[in-house]
Amino acid sequence: MNSKTAERKFLYYIYAFCLICFLNLSVLHWPSEPFDKNALLVGIVICGLIAYAHFIIRRFFPDGDKYILIFAGVLTVIGIVILYRINRIYAIKQVIWFVIGIIGFIFIVVLLPGLKRFAECKYFYLVITLVFMAMGTFFGKEKYGAKNWIMIGNYGFQPSEFGKLFLVAYLASTLKKYKNYKDLVEPATIVMISLGFMVLQRDLGSALIFFGISVTMLYIATSKIKYVTVCFGLFSIGSVISYKLFHHVKVRFLIWKDVWNYANSEGYQIVQSIISIASGGLFGTGLGRGHPEFIPVNLTDFIFAVLCEEMGGLMGFAVIILYFLLFYRCMRAAVYSEDKFSALLAVGYSSMIATQVLVIIGGVINLIPLTGITMPLISYGGSSMITTFFALGVLQKISEEAAKIE
């Protein structure tokens, strides 16, 4: 079976899964409530978007790795299905963000020139990174305990979501010139400033993601385990200082240490999440038969708990495997790239997605202290959807350029 046939077969499975899920949702309350035609319409629109994007990329850029788009597509389908189950309005909004994300993905792959010419824009990336990182500290509005939202009228966005894109580009353009430890002083300073802003904004999730991205890129660029060890040492010291200075950091740690002691107060969210995952078992209660209303922040931070309750622990494992496969295909682009800037860019964006998944799932099951971030492509959120598809578009571009060199 050739690659094109395998891709087409996988796409057919995605379309079938999508339409079956939305058909289920359309008859969820029938006959007590009318047949929900909008559910089927949403499913058809999603299938059409995935098919169109795959057709454009396959038709005009046949050389690269198309599974990046395919795995991203199936994760998005799962996310919108769960969102529609919880709240139809937010699911339709998520479809709009998906449309914008797909348009951005195609735009980057089709119209963006070769990435090598962007390697020398280091100080542009530096300035934009610091602007986005500082924005929440000075102008942010507090939401769910973190001061990381910028509101423009009735709409809001998280500047750190866009800041991490430019942080990766900055680190890639800097670390590609690495020769000795002196070349690490400036990027280390920028990373520490970024982490400092995240701590001040009480956005611990973004701080963990930035740290994960930075350490991964540092090791790939230098191959020096001693630098990684130093980074973990400094991060540990910073964590202890933050624990002593900031009450919210201490609370998160104490909840993680003994969540049941805080079951009726600060730990309520995690306890409800654990109960929901346990009640779903391996096979789930069935789509529409769970109780997501008992799970706080179920559209974003705790959507994985809703998924596990209604679709089962096996689906939860399947989602983790899909993320792993997406990470693998993204890192594969870095391996085959002959340009160091492009390779580091691919490593940065791949680790960005992987770290975000590990941090949020770890927090939801209380494996690590909870940090309020979204699951890429699955949780509701325009900022997250757009930035993830931007990163995937760049990764697809790197994959195409590497395939042409081969």
Sheet holding 146-152, edge to edge: 141-143, 146-152, 155-157
Q: Is residue 376 part of a domain?
A: no
Predicted local confidence at residue 166, as pLDDT: 93
Q: Is residue 102 part of a domain?
A: no
Distance of CA 310 to the CA centre of its chain: 22
Please say if the pLDDT value at position 337 is more than 90: no
Q: Is residue 19 part of a domain?
A: no
Distance of CA 79 to the CA centre of its chain: 12
Residues 348, 350, 353, 358, CA torsion sign: negative
Measuring CA to CA, which residue among 277, 298, 300, 308 is closest to residue 377?
A: 300
Whole-number percent of the chain with pLDDT over 70: 97
Predicted local confidence at residue 31, as pLDDT: 73
Measuring CA to CA, which residue among 315, 306, 329 is closest to residue 398?
A: 329
Q: Is residue 369 part of a domain?
A: no
Q: Is residue 373 part of a domain?
A: no
Predicted local confidence at residue 17, as pLDDT: 93
Once rounded to an integer, what is the mean pLDDT over residues 290-295?
A: 88
Predicted local confidence at residue 168, as pLDDT: 93
Q: In total, how many domains does the chain have?
A: 1
| Domain, as residue range, for 123 | 116-363
Q: Is residue 182 part of a domain?
A: yes
Q: Is residue 158 part of a domain?
A: yes
Residue type, 207: A
Contacts for 327 with CB less than 8 Å, ≥ 6 apart: 350, 353, 354
Summarize pLDDT for 241-284 with one digit per residue, the tens. Answer: 888 877 777 888 888 888 888 888 888 889 999 999 999 989 98
Please say if the pLDDT value at position 235 is more than 80: yes
Once rounded to an integer, what is the mean pLDDT over residues 309-319?
A: 93
Please say if the pLDDT value at position 144 is more than 70: no
Q: Is residue 400 part of a domain?
A: no
Predicted local confidence at residue 251, as pLDDT: 82
Alpha helices in 246-293 (DSSP H): 247-257, 268-280
The region of weakest confidence among 107-111, 211-215, 349-353 is 107-111
Once rounded to an integer, what is the mean pLDDT over residues 141-165?
A: 77
Torsions phi, psi for 384 (to 5 deg): -65, -45
Torsions phi, psi for 141 (to 5 deg): -110, 135
Predicted local confidence at residue 160, as pLDDT: 85
pLDDT band at 353 (very low <50, low <70, confident <90, very high): very high
